Amino acid sequence: MKMYLISDNVDTLTGMRLAGVEGVVVHERPELKEALERAVADPDIAVLLLTEKFGREFPDIVNDVRLHCRTPLLIEIPDRHGTGRRADFITSYVNEAIGLKL
């Protein structure tokens, strides 16, 4: 089982390749859809990493994979520009989940 990255920039792919993760760089909607289809069809890929930009720009494609494919596990990661989330997103998530203010 291996990890695979679908990224929107070369820098993220280069960093992940240094860690032994193969991947591809895509920029347009049809390229993303094709890359996701290839990754989902590969039985050796257990974890599919996707830069957060794709989750924001093409949520319908990403959510479709999450809903209809048991494998691979799809994880959104921040790219070199950082995350698009608020600085306290973990704290607010915990507050929402358990009802306690931390």
Q: Which segments of the chain does DSSP mark as H helices, in order? A: 10-18, 29-41, 52-57, 59-68, 89-98
How many domains does one find in the chain? 1
CA 4 from centre of chain: 10
d(CA 64, CA 51) in angstroms, rounded, equals: 16
In the predicted model, what is the mean pLDDT of residues 17-37?
92
What CATH number is attached to the domain comprising 37?
3.40.50.10580
In the predicted model, what is the mean pLDDT of residues 25-44?
92
d(CA 77, CA 26) in angstroms, rounded, equals: 15
Q: What is the pTM of this model?
A: 0.76
The pLDDT score that the predictor gives to residue 90 is 63
The residues that bridge with 5 in the sheet, in sequence order, are: 23, 49
Convert the pLDDT of each residue in 46-88 to its tens digit.
Answer: 999 998 888 888 889 888 888 888 889 998 888 766 566 666 6
